[in-house]
Structure 1
Amino acid sequence: MMHVGCIWGLSLFLSLSFGWTTAQQTNYTRPVFYCGGDLVSESGFVGSEGFPSFYKPNSKCTWRITVPEGNVVMLSFRIFDLEADSQCRYDYLDVYNGHSNLVQKLGRFCGTFRPGALISTTNTMMLEMVSDAENQGRGFVAYFSGAKPYENDQQVCGEKITKAQGEIKTPNWPDKKYPPGTSCSWLITVEPDMVIQVKFDKFVLEADSYCRFDYVAFFNGGEKDDSRLIGRYCGDEAPLPIITSGNVLLVQFVSDLSVTSDGFLAHYTSIPRGSHIPIVDSGAGTRSIPPKPAVRPVAPERPATTAPSHIPTTKYVPTEKPKPLKPTRGRGQGPNGKRPVPQNPLCAKACKRDGTIKTSFCASEFVITGKVTSMANGPRGTIISVSLIKAYKAGRLTITQVGETMSVKLVSLCKKCPLLRKGINFILMGQVDEDGRGTLAPGAFTAQYKAQHHKLLMNINNQPC
């Protein structure tokens, strides 16, 4: 969470530098944000009611943004602090692709991960924030502006397409890198009895564990609220072929104002509905790709003025099968003539944490809180699925979006230690292997998580190790 002094400093900067609309008003040294309103301007700021004070409980606020005709709305979050929940059930912000909750929902967000830049397909966008009776945060501040849907006269950066097949590519492809601060939106519609398949020929975007800075996102459908995110991708590993569930696909490409890269070239085709194409599926409409054996580079953290996102895209898929035990003779045989089951040397000691919460925090490569949703035996240990509440340290840890939920796959090297139970919220600390998988040694720090632990973990995170 951002220090209060920094928040007031930003408020002063916003007040002195920008004008305000009906949803906000200057008050000498800082802006005043109201609960909803109409923001009609080429650009401006929108924020939760009372920011930087804690937002009110049991509230519902709606902001309608309108930029000049011929533009699309680009929304970049500066600060984001809502109550964290893996499914965003309590306090959340919904962003819609127009002035209604009946159109496509671009996303639902909560917690303290700032969403990445969002773009609409028209000159309107709507934000709707809901809070319950408990656990308020400081809310959010975002900057909106009108962006041209085309990069220049020669290079089309987004359009509405009705052809049965075609291509999509980043601006400047293949002559040079895509420019910073770009937003593109393609809406592809094919015949009603067809679906759309997208294959990438080349793919090189700025790498980041959460795809916060530069990314391409795919949505099933483009005009309705029931359209769902298929996946958001970045880095240098091309996604596997993407197939829609219907005949409409929305593709959005966003780059921030710093590092750029080569970009991508993809071709789409329409295929008969029900065609069988083998694809790795992470569930809930999210396409994922198995990680490479090598470590992928992670972009450095950005200053608070850069709008990141929290949607990573890879998923661990075990590729090695356990090797069968070879039969032994003589002294290796047990009393019944069978080989005794070997004991895992990692599980020899008693189940006991190796350190305190502070020392373990500093020694661990990842520190997260989340609900254990499943536990299954795998070739290298127990595979644990965790629905993420908050990541205090992530590093190279692979995090996957499943629908509107963030999830993590961990491997416990010992079946008995640490002791975890399905359906319980835990604090989890451990190391990350070269494939981006989180590993839990028998002495790894784990504890049942309660809401009051969040402040403790944030305090530890803000202290030097």
Structure 2
Amino acid sequence: IYSFLGSVLNYWSGNTTVPTFTCGGNMTEDSGVVGSLGYPGVYPPNTKCVWRITVPEGKVVVLSFRFIDLESDNLCRYDYVDVYSGHASGQRLGRFCGTFRPGALVSTGNKMLIQMVSDANTAGSGFLAVYSAAEPHERGDQYCGGHLDKPFGSIKTPNWPEKDYPAGVTCSWHIVAPKNQIIEVKFEKFDVERDNYCRYDYVAIFNGAEVNDAKRIGKYCGDSPPAPVFSEGNQLLIQFLSDLSLTADGFIGHYKFRPKKFPTTPVPLTTTTPPAATTRPIPLKYSVGLCQQKCRRSGTAESNYCTSDFVITGTVITAVVRGGSVYATISIINVYKESNLAIQQAGKTMSTKIIVLCKKCPFIRRGLNYIFMGSADEDGKGKIAPHHFVMAFKAKNQRGLNVLKTKRC
């Protein structure tokens, strides 16, 4: 697996060619790699691909996503990957989209099914995942987590407290309380690689049994323990992921069941990042009022530079109209001002997702290059309103933008 992954990573460096991934198939080896059709290129629209994994009897399948980039939606309604335990009518272990990478997924038996569906509008390079056969109760550096149903217990990173957690680890703890109880989780010690958006190593906590952005309570990294977390119902999913680079001390946390009537006054989450990067529809009256203004660009790039959160140049790769707004994926040419804007990187290619609040103002077209100056919210989502500055980008604009980059605001 790892030599194969190496060839995939080397692909972006131009050192080798990556094998071709097909739409679905039957996988019967003890370990292997699954990738979306055409990965790492943009996956095709209107497709449904199914992979069936079978490992030897008496083993379970452990699946870890290494890369994921599908059209983002808080309920994953458009493009998504479903993972099931078993081949026919098995339990769904999760539905995934966007760029949120889940922790390890473990089947209950020796079979797992992966299904990827795309609609007419695509937005991303798909996914790459590795699977391997494991003993049902195996524990070790590369496999952790589990099903917890005792009234109290602890969760901790591999190697705790002797040394740092390993690189390339995914752990998933599924905690289940009786139906009339909720779950409280407190972290005693916490030290996970710091990043403004917890993109590399992180702990994510979800209400329920599945990874679902709409039910995500928080995503945490850094060296400050999160505030105590309370579930809404009787199930909680806690995931820990470390990438293939820097590591840290890790964490130890404790959970316990509480009566449902336990008074849980909402506490602000002390996350080191926004709790959930979900896409929320813009309220209709706000959107309509905003979009009734006359559409005309005001000022110049220079006069708008300091009042904008981010300034980038880029090519519109996808532009999908939803609810009067345009959800666009931009392949970045240059970044002049970043602020909170969430930027994804694959090899040398950078991209970002922005929302043009009013679909006709400013009007953008797929395949064309633009200068974008807009605002970025605390979740890192870029937004362009009619008063923001957007114009077609040509090579002659480059020099002026380079000068603005040195400007003090």
Shorter-chain TM-score category? Answer: 0.5 to 0.7
Alignment partner, residue 313 of structure 1: 275
The verdict on how the C-alpha distance between 1:409 and 1:314 changes in structure 2, with shifts beyond 3 A counting, is farther
Give the corresponding residue for 1:129: 116
Structure 2 length as normaliser, TM-score? 0.62
Q: Deviations over 1:40-68 (max 9, x none)?
A: 32322212234566544322112233445
Give unpaired runs (5+ residues) of structure 2: 1-9, 278-295, 343-351, 365-371
Q: Does 1:397 align with 2:340?
A: yes
Does residue 12 (structure 1) correspond to residue 12 (structure 2)? The answer is no
1:59 maps to 2:47: yes
Q: Are residues 1:184 and 2:171 paired? A: yes
Greater mean deviation of Cα atoms: 176-185 or 88-97: 88-97
1:53-452 matches, cutoff 5 A: 55-67=43-55, 69-78=58-67, 80=68, 82-83=70-71, 88-96=76-84, 99=87, 103-110=91-98, 113=99, 115-116=100-101, 118-122=103-107, 124-135=111-122, 139-146=126-133, 150-152=138-140, 157-222=144-209, 228-280=215-267, 288-289=269-270, 313=275, 352-355=298-301, 365=310, 390=329, 397=340, 429=373, 445-447=388-390
Amino acid at match of 1:252: Q
Residues 211 and 232, structure 1, Cα contact 8 Å, conserved in 2: yes
Letter in 2 for 1:289: T
Aligned partners of 2:127 and 2:381: how far apart in 1? 31
Shift of 1:160: 2.7
Q: Distance in 2 between matches of 1:271 and 1:398?
A: 39
One-letter amino acid of the counterpart of residue 26, structure 2:
D
Give the Cα separation in 1 of the matches to 2:215 and 2:385: 39
Write the distance in 2 (CA, Å) between the matches of 1:215 and 1:387. Answer: 30
Counterpart of 1:172, as a letter, is: N
Q: Note the C-alpha offset of 1:134.
A: 4.4
Query: What SS does structure 2 have at the residue aligned with 1:158?
Result: strand
Alignment partners' CA distance in 1, 2:117 and 2:249:
39
Q: Secondary structure at the match of 1:216?
A: strand
Paired with 2:266 and 2:148, the residues of 1 have a C-alpha distance of: 25
Contact 1:222 1:250 in 2 (8 A): yes
How many angstroms does 1:443 deviate by? Answer: 12
Amino-acid identity (%): 38
- The Cα offsets for residues 383-436 of structure 1, whole Å up to 9 and x where unpaired, read as xxx99754756956277xxxxxxx9999xxxxxxxx976998999635889x99
**Residue matched to 1:23:** none
Distance of aligned partners of 1:265 and 1:141 in 2 relative to their CA distance in 1, 3 Å threshold: closer
Q: Aligned to 1:245, what secondary structure does the other structure show?
A: coil
- Tell which structure's C-alpha radius of gyration is larger: 1
User: Helix, strand or coil for the counterpart of 2:183?
Assistant: strand
**CA distance in structure 2 between the aligned counterparts of 1:205 and 1:74, rounded to whole angstroms:** 23
Rounded Cα–Cα distance in structure 1 between residues aligned with 2:179 and 2:72: 39
Letter aligned with residue 340 of structure 2: L
Distance 2:127 2:36 in 1: 6
Q: Give the TM-score normalised by structure 1.
A: 0.56
User: C-alpha distance in 1, partners of 2:81/2:276?
Assistant: 25
Report what 1:285 is aligned to.
none
Between the aligned partners of 1:223 and 1:158, the Cα distance in structure 2 is 14
Contact 1:165 1:270 in 2 (8 A): yes
Secondary structure of 2:46 counterpart: coil
* Backbone CA RMSD of aligned residues: 5.3
Residues 423, 90 of structure 1: CA spacing in aligned structure 2 closer, same or farther, 3 A cutoff?
Answer: farther
Deviations 1:50-88 (A, max 9, x none): 45665443221122334454455132334x554566765
1:133 match: secondary structure: coil
- Matches of 1:440 and 1:53, distance apart in 2: 26
Distance 1:72 1:257, change over 3 A: farther
